[in-house]
Structure 1
């Protein structure tokens, strides 16, 4: 076993009124400010010093009426200190209190502190504080002050004796103690600590120490304003055991007896019979998991030393962590205090605030676990001190690995039973809901069947009534339909006869008669124009009359323009010779651009003539009027097929023929037409036309030794292809 020397030479600079620390101010400041993360932990450490001094009672008083300049008094009835104790122990930073010679072996086992730095908690809280201490039998009360504000970093701070009496707020508590220590901290800045956080100190202390294992008592009083009365309340462990669904406990006091025999998970179901069903709680004891044994551990010098270890305490899994649905009404959980943590203690003092922060769990239910576990081998005097190691070193230590191996099976078992009961209740909910759906479906089917039968009966009665009426009307309707059918057939036949007579009459008109008609149209249009000009003087004061007149003028102008264009295009045929020699590309381009553009606008169809003029002239002898009628018929067919665009192109790539293509985007060839060639037969049509246009077009192309074809386009519409035989040079 390692021998420890706990004696130290007293500083030679000490006097009766001054006791020097063995650390510089810079070192004390660095340690004091970095050892603690919050005021509650620092206060807890000062309380631990009183408990190590064998105090039966420790009182913590906090006056935060002025939060920036708060006052803290910590009073205990421990063994106290005299001048020699202060000079040889208190100012010795790093002194191991467990090796004090006056302590018995059993007493050493209960000493919380080991490193001798707990006193630095006062420096975290304040740069100026007082120490009042007295030992039993001494008539002198030692009063000392430390004021760090007057030191440089290289100075060695000291305790200065105070001769005048220091009066405490809780003077009566201090006076009744025959021995003990009082620490008074001035100007403590608690602005970062809310009132609720300070008032929660009782719970913090209860978690910081295993208060149920201590023979001492801790009391806390917090004053938040000048009007508040000082009221000390004892710190007690308050665990909501009745909220647990399962627990592991290997302690002698058997805390598991505090949990309920059963729990009703009312918050997991909206159905009363499931929500109120009693679920038996689960208790694990010593024999269910391994918790103690012997193992060889490495000492500071690397030797192996066999030591006994034992994991003592309890671990429970809460049925719920929602305060509103907690079974135990003492269950408290908020942003200030989180009870559901697995706390690890050594020598009745908190070593690890939350096991899952040290050893994170992938289980969703980690927040449901709470427990108090003692594992003293973590701070065994014969083994290295790991309490101040880095987290990585701490996790790598063989004692921590052993702790994890003991706790994990217990925690996993608790995870499983809590998860199982949750899944079981969810399954009960699903099964019940499926049953409800089946009942609703069956009820719906029955109601639907009854409704259907009622409708069928009503329908049957209505049908019988209707049948009688229908029979009477049937004969009348049949007669009427037959008469109407006959009438429509006769009307269609008469219209077809009239259309055929008209088409045959038109097709028999000679070119010279047509040109004479055009000349007559021209003359009549001029006379209409003269009358319209005279009429403008009559209606010029009427808006409605002027609008009607404007439309008439525009319409007449279009008639006049067409007759002029035809005349200017050289299409007048003399009486002796109806044929004329023309340059084909030029003739088509002029007719499309000069005539058709006047006859049709974009609301009818958009015509694009892409015939380019080149050096190769294609001279051909045609009857201009017949040729124009053929083009008009092709354009008219495209419009009837709902085409919005018509493109006219020339193709001179073939050796024997010069080709003109009329490409539209209309509806294409009707599916009823099996043979495209049939479209050129007399009277065949798929629109509301006469069926004579393509017939005469083919007849005309045959007369001039040419050809006409119809080809469906790949996307939509058709292409009408005119082939003109090239003249040989």
Structure 2
């Protein structure tokens, strides 16, 4: 007897599937809301409104909406996703260009509402049928949990048509088309702190760089928190602080910090162009474009992905700004976020995440590499699931594919390492730069030399095309600069890369001037040496006398240790006089050579450009200021000037120079005060440089009619010295639009030369220091902040 014919086998689905795809898969309330917001994003919505009531949550958008047939055949079809279909992509891109694909594509996001509450009511109207009734369905998720032996499809769903349109809370604007999901009988309370955490997370979910980039807005409405929001605003006003958007529940979601950071820190923009053939990179430092380059794209799987990256380096100043504006330290906000198809991929970028391997690299060289605590940024990529697919848990990042491997490498080699190769050699070496929110410390000759060297090293690659660079930071240094010769090789490499004939000519002219200056200095030294040898006999007698008077010599040494300057010329020994004479002869010889060179240069010319005259006079004025300084030392200095450099406590030296030298040469009613915290340290410096700085500052105060001038010396760290200089003179002219201009060569609002402050900035640059001017609130007096690092 033959066996009866068996029925075909097939899968059967229990009502328990609801929990597997819902509350058991989506294990976080924030992620559950993310899934619903992602659906709005994928539905081409431009506005999503979130409403939090006593026990309800509403998420309403103005997207394309759904028809009755869409609800029946798509939304209620488990694990079906229309986003996998490709026939909508062209229209989608026309509406919002940034969205190339879809944030989600598994068809299970709708079950995330089970995590949030017991009841769900969906209202929707399609964009093409905006005059039709609103379709409304209601689901009670608890009905699926009553009997898990029951078939999934046997649980009914209630449907009604609403001719009157969307039924939403009064606080929300009813859309003409789109979808609204209301979750009732919420499973957990949504208090103020919980909503604020969600708001902060949503800001990172969409776009941590502002609300306009993606053409997608999220607005939160929580009536119960309006009074607390008002109190928070009042508290900020009383403190005189800016309103912290992360402390206000109601309002638009977004971060407004990054526009500020672009002006206060270093960041790099990297993107693969539309052709997919090139990678273009732009590095900007505190508002100043450093370079823009282009090079071949070596990542074929990213060619059509629209890869974009923006990474900010956060120095101490930027971190302070971030914390003040955002209400949380940058490290708690996160690091580099990854966005796939315009939406955040979790948990990449979170505080404890190192998906890009930055911290692993930093462990290999703490001072050479940047880690997650040092940078913040965003990487954007678009593509299908075959290339960039999120893990099913929705909070485990991307599944590893060949395209993902190339994505990591592209970020590391072209974003992170490129940023490192500028930040480490240019700003890390200057200990004070971390506290600076502008490029003032880079405007010095050492700073400009470091920038030029970094760019030259970057373009020393046949594949790198230099499209633009900073002409204010990359250019010819002063011939007096210690970095002059080294910088010329960097500039030559940049000129060759850009075929910049003008820069080539400037380099050749600078080399010629430098050679003339060196020859003049050599002649002056030879003359001074001859005079020195003629006095060797007298010097020897002085040494013999000093040796014979051992006890007196020991007392003198002790006195020298206590005081670098003496109050009487009577103790000045012959050797010191010879050394001072040597310096004067050297500077005088160079001045004579510069005057001769200038006269030869202009001979036979009817007109001479003002810039050439200013340059010549500036160089002569600078050397003359050194001679004036030496003339003061001639009656006060108790140290030998056989070498231009000495090793001493800079703060103590400044204090003693002001009290022991500068005060004796004052004219008029001006009085000088100096304070020193005493936390000094020794370093090598040129005494003449201190004279140039102090004397020029005093001269400016005297011209401004000041009667009192103070110098406050502090040491904030073991390797830095700060000098705060103030006076009670007329202050800065109201006609100055930017105080930085007062340090430009020849800039003046008085009858002065406009060279004093320019010389000060140059001298401090050679000492690894900077000077910054600040305007007092009452516009009376001038204030200068000088910072020198060891």
TM bucket by the smaller chain?
0.3 to 0.5
The TM-score, its normalising length taken from structure 1, stands at 0.45
The TM-score, its normalising length taken from structure 2, stands at 0.41
Which has the higher Rg, Structure 1 or Structure 2?
1
